[in-house]
Copies of this chain bind each other. A is one copy, B any other.
Amino acid sequence: MDTRCINFGAGPSALPPSVLEEACKGLINFEGTGMGIAEISHRSKEFVALLARLEANIRTQLQVPQTHAILFMQGGGTGQFSSIVMNMLARHRLLQPHLADHERAMDYVVTGAWSKKAAAEAQRLGGGVVHIAADARPYSKDSKSFDNIPTHDSYSFSPDPALIFYCENETIDGVQFAYDGASPASFPFHLLKKDALLPLVADYSSSFMSRPIPRLADHAIIYAGAQKNIGPAGLTIAIVRQDCIVDVDAAAKLGAAPVPITMAYKTVFDGASLYNTPPVIPIYMAGLVLQRMAEQGGLKHYEEVNKRKAAKLYAVIGKGEAKGVLLAKVRPDAGSWMNVVFDALGEGAEARFVEGATARNMKSIKGHRSVGGIRISLYNAVTEEQTDELVAYMEEFIASAEPATIKV
């Protein structure tokens, strides 16, 4: 284990070493069955129990009410871009069969690359009309980038949409809705219709299980790929309110688009997430991660640690800004706890920053190719001690750097 680096990657990303060690045992011989976890039937009592424990652990820690099912799927967030549209349009069709496609609004709140992609997929699939309920770009410092969460007065929701989508944390842009509901950068729940059946859909891919989910029970669907905070890539978790688990075939008879069987929430729900062979290793490892979380004090503990980690990192970026050496890419109230993005200012500074980090065994810190700069991901498996090491390095970097001539 001492040959491992400090991994600030955005995903697939760091996992707890103790989980990896346990997983190695399970790969060879799972719970004394004489078979590895990848070799056991997904219908065996051992695997079914494992899946039930994972579900219970998520339900307890996130306080998911019984109104909502927890489904285990494949295809990642990108797969859900399609699933949410097809299932929610089917639901809308069943509720209001008389409407024409152009009367079925799909409200998208666009605050970064992923919500933009989600809206594009809804547009591609058709069967309704995409309405951009808010767009952060006009409010950015250059009028075209994603560096903020728009204030509440900039939203316009449709009266009765098939779905309302937002991406709680934008992994690429480092933008996250403020956790404090009183912040102008929080999600504007108060602007939505008071409705127990609100079609509110949230992409939590890169913040799932990093802190409690505000107003969870008001959501129709919350989904996440596993490969950030809770496990290896290949597993997708969808928390779906029961009224959104609809008979897509009945909706198709009324004119809705046919839904591939693995993407219909009803198939997954009816089959207890075992309709078809599930991704057994990712499920197993997510189970180990969730179990470890429970042992360490649950989500509350991670919330506190994650808050401190982010605060320390933003504080040192602030110091760098004061000296003209670093520049945060995102407006302070919209800065993500999970993905912290900034620039090192001046000729060759970014390369120097990366080089110094690499020399200290810190890896995967380059920003996404579409935005550049530095991106530090502080997922659950990144410890506070590792964050402190980074902060110490950044203090050094700032102290030794010549202030750049900033042209902003």
Enumerate chain A interface residues (CB-CB to B < 8 A).
1, 3-5, 7, 9-15, 17, 20-21, 23-24, 27-29, 32-36, 38-42, 74-79, 81-83, 86, 121, 124-127, 225, 227, 231-235, 249, 252, 257-258, 260-263, 275-282, 285, 361, 363-364
Contact A34 B76 (CB under 8 A): no
Output the residue of A29, A249, A282 with the most chain B CB within 10 A. Answer: A282
Contact A258 B257 (CB under 8 A): yes
Contact A20 B35 (CB under 8 A): no
A242 to B35 alpha-carbon distance, docked (Å): 39
Other A-B pairs beyond A24-B28, A74-B279, A234-B282, 7, CB < 8 Å: A4-B36, A21-B28, A75-B262, A82-B263, A125-B258, A232-B280, A233-B277
Contact A79 B234 (CB under 8 A): no
Contact B127 A262 (CB under 8 A): no
Contact A3 B27 (CB under 8 A): no
A196 to B: closest C-beta gap in Å: 29
Q: A4-B35, A14-B35, A277-B227 are in contact. Are A79 and B74 (CB under 8 A)?
A: yes
Q: A29-B4, A76-B276, A233-B277 are in contact. Are A36 and B15 (CB under 8 A)?
A: yes
For A4, the closest partner residue in chain B by CB is B34
A36 to B5 alpha-carbon distance, docked (Å): 10
Contact B233 A126 (CB under 8 A): no
Main secondary structure of the interface of A (DSSP, over half): loop
A86 to B14 alpha-carbon distance, docked (Å): 37
Output the residue of A3, A20, A36, A78 with the most chain B CB within 10 A. Answer: A36
Contact A33 B5 (CB under 8 A): yes
A277 to B: closest C-beta gap in Å: 5
A261 to B232 alpha-carbon distance, docked (Å): 22
Contact B77 A74 (CB under 8 A): no
- 10 residue pairs of the A-B complex, CB under 8 angstroms, read A1-B28, A9-B35, A12-B42, A15-B36, A33-B363, A38-B285, A83-B260, A232-B279, A234-B279, A260-B263
| A4 proximity list for chain B (CB < 8 A) | 28-29, 34-36
A299 to B: closest C-beta gap in Å: 22
- 7 A-B pairs closest in CB distance: A234-B279, A5-B34, A82-B260, A38-B232, A78-B276, A24-B24, A74-B74
| A227 proximity list for chain B (CB < 8 A) | 38, 277, 280
A150 to B: closest C-beta gap in Å: 27
A236 to B: closest C-beta gap in Å: 9
| Cross-chain contact of A36 among B20, B42, B74 (Cβ < 8 A) | B20
Contact B23 A233 (CB under 8 A): no
A363 to B33 alpha-carbon distance, docked (Å): 9
A206 to B: closest C-beta gap in Å: 11
Contact B38 A280 (CB under 8 A): no
Contact A3 B75 (CB under 8 A): no
A211 to B: closest C-beta gap in Å: 22
For A277, the closest partner residue in chain B by CB is B233
| A364 proximity list for chain B (CB < 8 A) | 35, 41
